[in-house]
């Protein structure tokens, strides 16, 4: 089987994870990593036995690199992803993909024009429990959907420096709600604010309204003293609750509470 030659742009906390997974997957061959921090690029390259770069353009000239992951600061994701697309590479770009819709649309247009694939790193979709809930919603095994609620809270992450809590945390749950209901909301209400941090919002309360009266509620913050990642979907016949951290899924109806045995799976894979 021919492996897909890949490279990673950005070798910070999350870029290292991308590099590790590409190294472990049977379908991919990690060939290079790139970072403006030369020492960090060298360290990650040495860890995985690949070539380090500090210049993206030079790395993208390699013909054996067919796809790249872009894991830079959020504000530079679109710029680096566009470079890769123009170099005729398929792109996996970390969320939030771009700083605004104009940048995002430019990436999509470029990928389509070049005949390339571009996808955003919304990893929560690939957690087995989410896939079980998605199937239940589609088949209506839990009845008519009343609402979905997501709670994604924790302390301030030191690695964050260029976005607020909406683009860091809430964005995952906005994507999941659209994914579960397979449609865009028809109305959005949101309240964000700053309690401890001066530059960016550190809490967000969001309500999404979908066709047919379905609602989704999202709570995100960087203020809570412990980390919680919970998704609850309420149907007319049953309620499904997923703990993203443990990947434990609970299904409750009028007669019993069940916990399906679902193997834990790394969403990056």
Q: How far is CA 113 from the centre of its chain?
A: 25
Asked whether residue 267 carries a pLDDT value surpassing 90, the answer given is no
Domain ranges of the chain: 4-121, 124-258
Convert the pLDDT of each residue in 98-147 to its tens digit: 999 999 999 999 999 999 999 999 999 999 999 999 999 999 999 999 99
The CATH number, out of the four listed (3.40.50.10860, 3.40.50.720, 1.10.8.50, 3.40.50.150), of the domain defined by the range 4-121: 3.40.50.720
* 3-state secondary structure at position 24: helix
- Where residue 269 falls among pLDDT bands split at 50, 70, 90? confident
CATH class, 124-258 region: alpha beta
Please give the angle made by the CA atoms of 69, 75 and 76, to the nearest 5 degrees.
Answer: 45
* 3-state secondary structure at position 242: strand
Considering only CA atoms, which of 1, 53, 52, 51 is closest in space to residue 25?
1
Alpha helices (H) in 77-145, listed in sequence order: 77-86, 101-114, 128-139
- Running DSSP on this structure, what letter comes out for residue 56? H
Phi, psi of 262, deg, nearest 5: -120, 120
Convert the pLDDT of each residue in 11-49 to its tens digit: 999 999 999 999 999 999 999 999 999 999 999 999 999
Beta bridge partners of 8: 33, 69
């Amino acid at each position: 089987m021919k492996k897909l030659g890949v490279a990673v742009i950005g070798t910070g906390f999350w870029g290292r994870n991308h590099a590790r997974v590409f190294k472990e997957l049977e379908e991919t061959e990690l060939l290079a990593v790139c970072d403006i921090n030369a020492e960090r690029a060298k360290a990650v390259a040495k860890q995985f036995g690949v070539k380090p770069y500090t210049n993206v353009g030079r790395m993208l000239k390699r013909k054996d690199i067919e796809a790249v992951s872009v894991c830079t600061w959020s504000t530079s994701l679109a710029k680096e992803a566009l470079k890769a697309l123009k170099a005729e590479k398929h792109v996996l770009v970390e969320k939030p993909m771009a700083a605004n819709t104009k940048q995002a649309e430019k990436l999509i247009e470029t990928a389509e024009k070049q005949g390339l694939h571009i996808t955003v790193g919304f990893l929560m979709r690939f957690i087995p429990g989410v896939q079980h809930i998605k199937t239940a919603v589609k088949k209506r095994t839990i009845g008519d959907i009343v609402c979905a609620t997501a709670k994604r809270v924790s302390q301030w992450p030191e690695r964050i420096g260029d976005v607020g809590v909406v683009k860091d945390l809430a964005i995952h749950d906005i994507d999941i709600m659209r994914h579960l209901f397979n449609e865009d909301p028809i109305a959005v209400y949101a309240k964000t604010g700053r309690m401890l941090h001066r530059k960016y919002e550190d809490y967000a309360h969001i309500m999404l309204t979908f066709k047919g009266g379905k609602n989704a509620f999202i709570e995100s913050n960087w203020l809570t003293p412990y980390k919680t990642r919970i998704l609850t979907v309420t149907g007319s016949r049953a309620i499904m609750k997923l703990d993203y951290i443990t990947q434990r899924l609970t299904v409750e109806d009028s007669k019993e509470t069940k916990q399906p045995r679902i193997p834990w799976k790394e969403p990056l894979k």
